[in-house]
Amino acid sequence: MGVLSWWRERNAWSRVKADGRDLVREVRQILKKQPQRVREPVVAELNFAVGEVQRTLADHDLDSSRRAVDALGELVDQHLAFALKSTIREYAESILIAVAIACVLRAFVVEAFQIPSGSMIPTLEVGDHIFVSKFAYGFSIPFTNKKIFEWRDPSRGDVIVFKYPRDLSTDYIKRVVGLPGDVVEVKHSEVFVNGKLMPRERLGPYKYSENDTDVRDCELWQEHLGPDPHLLIQENRGTREERDLPPTQIPQHAVFVMGDNRDNSYDSRFWGTVDLDLIKGKALIIWWSRAQAPSKTVFESVRWHRFFHAVR
Query: Residue 282 forms beta bridges with which residues?
Result: 133, 160
Complete DSSP assignment for 242-287: P--EEEEEPPTTEEEEE-SBTTS--SHHHH--EEGGGEEEEEEEEE
* Single-letter amino acid, residue 109: V
119 included as an active-site residue: yes
Q: Which burial class, exposed, middle or buried, applies to 32 when counting CB atoms under 10 A from its CB (0-12, 13-18, 19+)?
A: exposed
Q: Residue 31 and residue 36: Cα distance in Å, rounded? A: 8
Q: Please work out, in degrees rounded to the nearest 5, the angle formed at the alpha carbon of residue 225 by the alpha carbons of 219 and 227.
A: 120
Catalytic option among 65, 134, 163, 174: 174
Name the residue among 281, 279, 280, 276 with its Cα closest to residue 133. 281
* Residue 29, SS3 per DSSP: helix
Residues contacting 242, CB < 8 A, separation 6+: 188, 189
Task: Assess contact for 64 and 56: CB atoms under 8 A.
Answer: yes
* Residue 165, SS3 per DSSP: coil
174 included as an active-site residue: yes
Q: Is 143 left (phi over 0), alpha (psi -120 to 50) or beta?
A: left
Catalytic option among 119, 140, 265, 289: 119
| CA dihedral for 299, 304, 308, 309, sign (positive or negative) | negative
Please give the positions annotated as active site. Answer: 119, 174
